[in-house]
Amino acid sequence: MTNTQLIFSLGSGMALMVAGLALAVSGIADWGLFWTGAIVSSLTMATQLRQRGTSATFKAARLQPATARVDH
């Protein structure tokens, strides 16, 4: 996920939550839009965290042989 996609997805999710909250509190609509925004935001954050985790593991794996050599 690129930074642009991250900002768009997270921004959209947050905006949907705010709009959903406003509509639900004012009694115009139910909480459906709010929960949709929450799902989009959570999905984005979960994907981002998973990617960071994968990236960190990958970096650690690449560093491993060098560290092993120093220890040896």
Partner 1 sequence: MQLDIVVAFFLLGVLTHLVRSDIQFPRSLYQSLTLFLLIAIGLKGGVALREHADISLAPQAIAVILLGLVLPLIAFPLLSRIGQLSRDDSAAIAAHYGSVSVGTYAVAVAILESRQIPYEAYFPLFVVLLEMPAIAVGLALARKADSGLDRGKLLHEMFCNQGVVLMSGALLIGYWAGAGVAPIMPLFGDLFHGVLALFLLEMGIVAARRLPDIRQVAPFMSAFGVLMPLIGAALGGALALVLGFSTGGVALLAALGGSASYIAVPAVMRAALPQANHGLSIAASLGITFPFNVLVGIPLYISGAAWLTTATG
Site of interaction with partner 1 (CB under 8 A): 1-2, 4-6, 8-9, 12-13, 16, 23, 28-33, 35-36, 39-40, 43-44, 47-48
> Could you give the angle at which helices 3-25 and 32-71 cross, rounded to 10 degrees?
150
Task: Work out how close the CB of 11 gets to partner 1 at its nearest, in angstroms, rounded to a whole number.
Answer: 8
CB atoms within 10 A of CB 2: 7
Task: Work out how close the CB of 52 gets to partner 1 at its nearest, in angstroms, rounded to a whole number.
Answer: 14
Residue located via tokens 């909480």: 31
Q: CB nearer to partner 1: give 1 or 60.
A: 1
Token representation of residue 68 = 């092993």
